[in-house]
Structure 1
Amino acid sequence: MQTIQDVMTRDVRTISPQDNVQRAAQMMDELNVGAIPVCDGDKLVGMITDRDITVRSTAAGQAPQSTRVADVMSTDVRTCTSNQTVDEVLGQMGDVQIRRVPVLDEQSHRMIGIVSLGDMATKHSAGIDHALDEISSPSTPDRTQTHH
């Protein structure tokens, strides 16, 4: 049974809650990722995604240079531990439709890695199809449609 430590990425770039949104966007561009863990020291305090930047910041008219990561990040972050099984974490990702989960050390609760659907797809094939189906299926928009 494969565990998360078998498939996770260990060298994770993080951003500080004090950094600005422009820096977060630049890091996403450099790393070619859509989400970056936010750490205060070695404590995970949130995740910032390209969608957080677009929807919470840009749409609200905030300037990317003066808006802090802390103001737009998601704080209810799903995490896993390195000794959980891949199947278990895949199931959780499918349930909440996320593609990346920070990995915490079970004892210290420090972030030691990140695991993505891609990591699991390339290193573990059972169960990935179901999670991909769950995540790829469009969810209903949370706004009421007005018809003219």
Structure 2
Amino acid sequence: MSLDAIAVEPMTSVARAAHLMRDQDVGGVLVSYDRDLFGMLTDRDIVIRTVAEDRDPHTTRVGSVCTRPPVVTLAPEDTTDHAAELMRRYAVRRLPVVEGDGSPVGIVSLSDLAAAEEPDSPLADIGRASPDR
């Protein structure tokens, strides 16, 4: 799990969130409000719900384009097997990790699972690779 997951508020501009994602080399950010998970914004959300819809990323707010609940989530004590099953069942690459009170604490990505379960796999290698700049 990535404990240093980035969280933004729903009123954050899509452009600001995209800059954060670029700077931190991540494909998704948690969207939270008042310590509760509001949704999750992925690079795909930005492309499909903002760019492809001709919306201005500087004025469009994250809360209007992020994937909203029910977002599939994990609890901190869930196993990697459970995470993999949820990813398979819901066809997602990232799962927010939330405490019982609904507050987000991290994200588990497909490459996190690969690194944990099969550290020598090609997917684990890709997840560890430096980003192309």
Classify the TM-score, shorter chain: 0.7 to 0.9
Is 1:119 aligned to 2:108, yes or no?
no
The correspondence for 1:86, drawn from 73, 80, 90, is 80
**Residue in 2 aligned with 1:28?**
21
The separation in 2 between residues aligned to 1:60 and 1:25, in whole angstroms, is 16
1:104 alignment partner, one of 83, 98, 108: 98
Could you list the per-position Cα deviations for residues 30-83 of structure 1 after superposition, in whole angstroms to 9, with x for gaps in the alignment? 111221110112111001111111111112211111111111111031101011
| Paired residue secondary structure (1:95) | helix
Bigger Rg, which one: 1
Alignment partner, residue 64 of structure 2:
71
TM-score norm. by structure 2 comes to 0.82
Q: Is there any run of 5+ residues in structure 1 with no aligned partner, and where?
A: 1-7, 133-148
Kindly state the Cα deviation for residue 12 of structure 1 after the two structures are TM-superposed: 1.6
- Aligned partner (choices 2, 17, 30) of residue 9 of structure 1: 2
Gaps of 5+ in 2: 124-133
Aligned counterpart in structure 2 of residue 53 of structure 1, from 32, 46, 58:
46
User: What amino acid does structure 1 have at the position aligned with 2:78?
Assistant: Q
Q: TM-score, normalised by structure 1?
A: 0.74
1:124 Cα deviation from its structure 2 partner: 2.1
Cross-structure match for 1:137? none
SS at match of 2:7: coil
CA contact (8 A) 2:50 2:57 kept: yes
Instruction: Report the aligned-residue RMSD.
Output: 2.0
Distance in 2, matches of 1:14 and 1:80, equals 16
Instruction: Letter of the 1:39 partner, please give it.
Output: S
Runs of 4+ in 1 over 2 A off after TM superposition: none
Identical columns (%): 36
Q: Which amino acid aligns with 1:116?
A: S
In the TM superposition, what is the alpha-carbon distance from 1:110 to its structure 2 partner? 1.2
Q: Which amino acid aligns with 2:99?
A: D
Q: CA deviation at 1:98?
A: 1.2
